[in-house]
């Protein structure tokens, strides 16, 4: 841990152990207590031990937004709990400089029998606001929640969406130096989610240091400057959002070999996609590609019966869900009217002009008149585009600039 610069968040060699199988009554605990006294050991049973975090170290710079991704149980929420002082570490040191607030559960402090207004005060004080601050911010909180008419109603009559809206309205008015966000944006409709993102963005502009934990990888990519990848309690990567998300994806799909597609076909399926390969111009399988270079999608298939008027659709989607391009064999008349046997279908893009990001390929096969695909491999293949262009947006477009009437200095 550096002694010269004081980062707002610092973790050094943090370990966290949990004891599973706790005792809830004295009767259960008595044998354990006696054992502890006679043997003078403080630890519980070794079978019940579980290390949630092992030797975790990282820091977050002032004004930076750090994302933490990883599978369930990787230790993400444990880090937040340690930072919010809800629990304490077994070994190692954590330091937070400045006022910290955590959005871990919106409306968690609400009591169902109290009205919306009363709960605003209750939840606000739990998040560290003073009564007089809440009084001052009250109208703003109400306006943000859009629940003016319901403030005198007990919260038990609210829908879950209303609870979340009120909870976030209160939380949005806390002005911490450091903000921890854990999956709170998973609930709520589209309008609400956009409001949340806008608010978080405002806090970013104001220089708030943030840690963002989410399974919504699109959001992580949008909001975070840097991402930490956790697996089973250890930091296995630290880098740009795109890199870490890609590594997370890889890790997850490593369990299903990448050449075996995740398909919706069953053993009796008429059409089976045996393998999908992404290749470059030399025929090598690729994971990264330079913008503007060729991409080949090869699909090996087997049919179990006659397929009438088959249509294959290949789509390229950006990781945040944007459909960049899709095409079908219908326009090219590539496939015969009736398809049998096995074979390989190849789709070639001479020049894939997408901008740097993570993309995934989806393949679907249809038969005449049936809107439901016979076989589909959705988002099974990720690849990354890298390039030197300094453009923004989804695609690279050829262009050039001209200027008239300027006097050279």
Partner 1 sequence: MFAHLKELYWYRDLLISLALRDIKVRYRQTLLGVAWAVLQPLAFMLIFTLVFAKFGQVRSDGTPYPLFSYTGLVPWTLFSTGLTLAVNSVAANMNLVKKIYFPREVFPIGVIIGCLTDFLIASTLIAGLMLWYKVPASLQLLWLPWLLAIEVLFVIAISLMVSAMNVFYRDVKYIVPLVVQLGMFATPVIYPISAVPAHLRSWYLLNPMAVVIDGMRSVVLHAQAPGIGELCQATAIVLVLSIGAYLYFKRVEVKFADLI
| Footprint of partner 1 (CB under 8 A) | 18-20, 22-27, 29, 81, 84-88, 102, 104-105, 108-109, 111, 113-114, 118, 121-122, 125-131
Question: Considering the complex, what minimum distance in angstroms separates the CB of residue 104 from partner 1?
Answer: 5
Please tell me the distance from the alpha carbon of residue 194 to that of residue 200, in angstroms, as a whole number: 10
C-beta of 85 vs 308, nearer to partner 1: 85
> Is 402 within 8 Å of 383 (Cβ atoms)?
no
Q: Which is nearer to partner 1, 16 or 381 (CB)?
A: 16
Cβ(244)–Cβ(384) below 8 Å: no
Q: Are strands 65-70 and 226-231 parallel, antiparallel or unpaired?
A: parallel
> How far apart are CB 243 and partner 1 at their closest, in Å?
31
| C-beta of residue 127 within 8 angstroms of C-beta of residue 172 | no
Nearest distance in Å: CB 18, partner 1: 6
If phi > 0 it is left, if psi is from -120 to 50 it is alpha, else beta; for residue 49 that is: beta
Q: In angstroms, what is the minimal distance from the CB of 341 to partner 1?
A: 56
Instruction: State phi, psi for 354 to the nearest 5 degrees.
Output: -85, 155
Q: Exposed/middle/buried for 12, CB within 10 Å: 0-12, 13-18, 19+?
A: middle
Smallest distance, partner 1 to C-beta of residue 256, A: 31
Q: Which is nearer to partner 1, 103 or 358 (CB)?
A: 103
Nearest to 83 by CA among 180, 196, 155, 175: 180
Tokens 């409709």 identify what position? 189
Tell the smallest beta-carbon distance from residue 169 to partner 1 (Å): 16
Residue (of 312, 354, 352, 304) closest to 333 by Cα position = 312
CB of 265 to partner 1, least distance (A): 41
Q: How far is the CB of 116 from partner 1 (least distance, A)?
A: 14
Spell out the residues 6+ positions from residue 298 whose beta carbon is closer than 8 angstroms to its own.
275, 276, 277, 278, 279, 344, 345, 346, 347
Q: In terms of CB distance, is 125 or 153 closer to partner 1? A: 125
The H-or-E segment that residue 68 falls in is: strand 65-70
Task: Compare residues 80 and 295 and give the one whose CB is closer to partner 1.
Answer: 80
Interatomic CA distance for residues 263 and 364, integer angstroms: 10
Q: For partner 1, which is the closer residue by CB, 122 or 394?
A: 122
> What sign results for the dihedral spanned by CA atoms 278, 283, 284, 287?
negative
User: Token pair of 122, please?
Assistant: 């209750």
CB-wise, 45 or 340, nearer to partner 1? Answer: 45
All residues at 6 or more sequence positions from 6 whose CB lies less than 8 Å from its CB, including other chains: 97
Radius of gyration (C-alpha) of the chain in whole angstroms: 27
The nearer residue to partner 1, 117 or 218, going by C-beta atoms, is: 117
User: What element of type H or E holds 202?
Assistant: helix 190-205
Residue placing its CB nearer to partner 1 in the complex, 177 or 320? 177
Name the minimum Å distance from CB 201 to partner 1.
24
């Amino acid at each position: 841990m550096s002694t010269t610069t004081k980062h707002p968040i610092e973790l050094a060699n943090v370990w966290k152990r949990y004891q599973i199988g706790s005792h809830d009554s004295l009767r259960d605990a008595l044998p354990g207590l006696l054992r502890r006294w006679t043997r003078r050991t403080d630890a519980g049973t070794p079978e019940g031990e579980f290390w949630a975090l092992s030797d975790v170290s990282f820091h977050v710079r002032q004004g930076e937004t750090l994302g933490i991704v990883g599978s369930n149980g990787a230790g993400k929420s444990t880090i937040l709990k340690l930072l919010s002082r809800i629990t304490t570490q077994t070994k190692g040191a954590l330091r937070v400089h400045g006022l910290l607030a955590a959005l871990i559960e919106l409306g968690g402090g609400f009591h169902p029998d109290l009205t919306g207004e009363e709960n605003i005060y209750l939840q606000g004080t739990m998040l560290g606001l003073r009564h007089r601050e809440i009084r001052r911010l009250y109208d703003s909180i109400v306006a943000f929640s859009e629940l003016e008419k319901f403030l005198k109603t007990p919260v038990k009559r609210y829908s879950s969406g209303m609870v979340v809206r009120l909870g976030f309205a209160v939380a949005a008015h806390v002005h911490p130096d450091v903000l921890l966000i854990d999956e709170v944006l998973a609930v709520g409709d589209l309008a609400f989610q956009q409001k949340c993102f806008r608010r978080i963005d405002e806090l970013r502009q104001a220089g708030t240091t943030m840690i963002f934990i989410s399974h919504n990888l699109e959001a992580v990519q949008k909001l975070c400057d840097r991402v930490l990848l956790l697996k089973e309690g250890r930091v296995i990567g630290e880098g740009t959002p795109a890199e870490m998300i890609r590594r997370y994806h890889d890790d997850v799909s490593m369990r299903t070999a990448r050449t075996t597609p995740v398909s919706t076909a069953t053993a009796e399926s008429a059409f089976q996609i045996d393998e999908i390969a992404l290749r470059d111009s030399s025929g090598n399988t690729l994971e990264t590609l330079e913008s503007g270079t060729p991409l080949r999608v090869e699909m090996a298939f087997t049919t179990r019966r006659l397929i009438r008027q088959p249509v294959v659709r290949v789509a390229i989607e950006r990781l945040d869900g944007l459909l960049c391009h899709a095409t079908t064999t219908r326009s090219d008349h590539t496939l015969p009217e009736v398809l049998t046997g096995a074979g390989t279908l190849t789709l070639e893009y001479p020049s894939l002009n997408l901008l740097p990001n993570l993309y995934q390929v989806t393949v679907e096969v249809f038969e005449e008149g049936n809107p439901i695909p016979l076989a589909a491999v959705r988002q099974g293949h990720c690849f990354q585009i890298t390039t030197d262009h300094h453009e923004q947006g989804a695609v690279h477009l050829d262009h050039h600039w001209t200027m008239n009437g300027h006097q050279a200095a």
